[in-house]
Structure 1
């Protein structure tokens, strides 16, 4: 049998990769619909009749941050550590002490940072999507983002384009982002348990060593007499 604790952590790393891939693809496609402009946190200037508006897109950094975070933090990093843990999990079939010999604290600290950044990203997406949907409902054309899907819009250059199902894509990325946060929170919890396991294991080994030394000392005294 392999170490179940290490196996579960490995599965969570790979799960993070898959969920992050969903976030990047859905969010990236929704952004490409608007020619790479960032729609979340965008503001709309409606005319007096409420039937036409001018879109003021938000800074590109609002959309770049989630993509970079999930590519480098939740895909590349998690994939690398997942493969490392998968190999270690396989080796535990022969040596049960491997999980207690691996580095824990460096990865635990990195995982904590990634979890915090995913939380920030999830909040950004939720608030940003809500903000642009609120802007769309101010006019007389749409009641919200769902009504604005698959519509013909005109960009700042006067070119017509179709909005597609941008809101569905944004919702998928938002839900996946919160799911990814849950995965990392569980990973943090398992990291804490693993730290406690390693500390208890080292404490038991330390006691065993002292017990052996005590036995040797007692034998030496008896031999002397």
Structure 2
């Protein structure tokens, strides 16, 4: 069967890039919709100050706290991952079990490592910002508000405080965003590990190609360079 000759690691990495592509939507869309629902304001790190058991003031935070995660996932996870899915998909159509040793490795290790670090920072920003906002709502217990969870705010009428917010989904959407962004971090971490493994695995192959005896010269008596020799020579490419 054609599938059996594929590089299994190549298939796994392609699936991980596809997962990153999908997860990018799971992070950016809920966070973006929540921002829209709060009048174009970022809810992360939002400041909630309770005046009494029934009234509080909400102050939004800088939009950069939300835009960083949104743009990172749109341009980094979605577009970059889509390009890598196409790249790996094309490689798999070659049906060459050695195609993995002929692909670039080191540039993608560096890019993926950078993506992993940035996504980790973004994930921390989302989690901490979400917690700060929820802690503000829960602090109402000190005023006698009896707030059981951060999700309770989805049942309140925020517009009576002079706003025009849609607040019935913010906790659900931010919970999805938080779960998705940490899942994305794990996926990219595995992607980096697999890239390093491929680089290490390909080095013996590259060394073997470099020190392999050259093919007989065309001018040597009784020898001629066959099409197979030319094909093998053309297939030797840098693996880093």
CA spacing shift, 1:151–1:162, aligned 2, 3 Å? farther
User: In the alignment, is the contact (CA less than 8 A) between 1:134 and 1:144 conserved in 2?
Assistant: no
CA distance in structure 2 between the aligned counterparts of 1:165 and 1:97, rounded to whole angstroms: 49
Q: Which residue of 2 aligns with 1:20?
A: 24
Can you list the C-alpha shifts for 1:68-89, whole angstroms capped at 9, x where unaligned?
Answer: 0000110000110110111012
CA distances 1:72-109 after superposition (whole Å, capped 9, x unpaired): 11000011011011101211x1x344322221111111
2:122 is matched with 121
TM-score (norm 2): 0.81
Q: Distance in 2 between matches of 1:161 and 1:42?
A: 14
Residue 74, structure 1, aligned to residue 77, structure 2: yes
Report the counterpart of residue 189 of structure 1 in structure 2: 193
Alignment of 1:7-46 (within 5 A): 7-46=11-50
Q: In structure 2, which of residues 7, 10, 14 is the aligned counterpart of residue 6 of structure 1? A: 10
Report the TM-score when normalising by structure 1: 0.86
Query: Are the aligned partners of 1:155 and 1:161 in contact in 2 as well (CA < 8 Å)?
Result: no
Task: Could you tell me which runs of 5 or more consecutive residues in structure 1 were left unpaired when the two chains were aligned.
Answer: 214-225
Return 5+ residue gaps in structure 2 as ranges.
217-240
In structure 2, relative to structure 1, the CA distance for the partners of 1:206 and 1:162 (3 Å cut) is closer
Tell me the matched-pair count: 208
Task: Give runs of aligned pairs for residues 1-225 of structure 1, distance below 5 A.
Answer: 1-47=5-51, 49-91=52-94, 93=95, 95-139=96-140, 140-141=144-145, 142-154=147-159, 158-209=162-213
CA RMSD of aligned residues (A): 1.9
Contact residue 16 and residue 180 of structure 1 kept, 8 A: yes
